[in-house]
Amino acid sequence: MAKPMTAWLAKPAAVAIVLFARAITAVRAIWPESGVPSGRCIYFANHSSHGDFILIWAVLPPRLRQRTRPVAGADYWLKSKLNSFIGRDVFNAVLIERDREARTEDPIAQMAAAIDAGSSLILFPEGTRNLTDAPLQPFKSGLFHLAKMRPDIDLVPVWINNLNRVMPKGEFVPIPLICTVTFGSALRIGPDEEKADFLARTQSALLALSPKQVGNGE
């Protein structure tokens, strides 16, 4: 539980971060014809920056934002008091220990527990930031195992465009550029769907939202 002073600071800090993200990126959301998700879901997105989940969080309507938690690496978000405050208190992130040897909890169980408690999640199936020339790295198996554990939860693909150019690796001063966050139609895992088929299908659904794919009419 957050300390009283920390809890008091978390809300204005969240507002400040959202306003700053919007000012730097002029970010706008693009929703599918089905509209904004009405219930709990798992937003799964491409990953090129530490600020990716902030943009998704910033464009969600306030009622959804309040119950949406990013899934993030504990090693990064607990490495300093400031990081811990932002990750744990401001964003209420589900912090996953990426070092298998140091784990005391099962990451899939952690995420399932957050869903059961009423939260939506923001998840990056690539597992780490994509610093390659490929549009997406291969998906890790976490999304599959979570979907198998909670098959009634909608999976919403989300493509974040341009943020890697706003904050290139190694830079500390953001470059103002317009960013978009494109949400796709929700999908669910099939009853007997194999891991390879599921990961290929979800990766295709995410890649289809890329401006390059849309521009090519693919």
Question: Which residue in 87, 95, 92 sits closest to 66, CA to CA?
Answer: 92
**pLDDT band at 169; cut points 50, 70, 90:** low
Please tell me the total count of domains within the chain. Answer: 1
Bridge partners for 157 per DSSP: 44
Q: Which amino acid is at 173?
A: V
Span 85-135, pLDDT tens digits: 999 999 999 999 988 888 889 999 999 999 999 999 999 999 888 778 888
**pLDDT confidence of 173, banded at 50, 70, 90?**
very low
Residues 6+ apart with CB under 8 A from 211: 159, 161, 180
Give me the domain span that covers residue 205. Answer: 4-215
Q: What is the pTM of this model?
A: 0.88
Residue 186 belongs to a domain with what CATH number? 3.40.1130
pLDDT, tens digit, for every residue of 48-59?
Answer: 777 788 889 999
The two structure tokens encoding residue 13: 């800090």
**pLDDT tens string 15-47:** 898 898 888 888 899 999 989 988 999 999 998
For residues 212 and 218, give the distance between their C-alpha atoms in angstroms, rounded to a whole number. 9
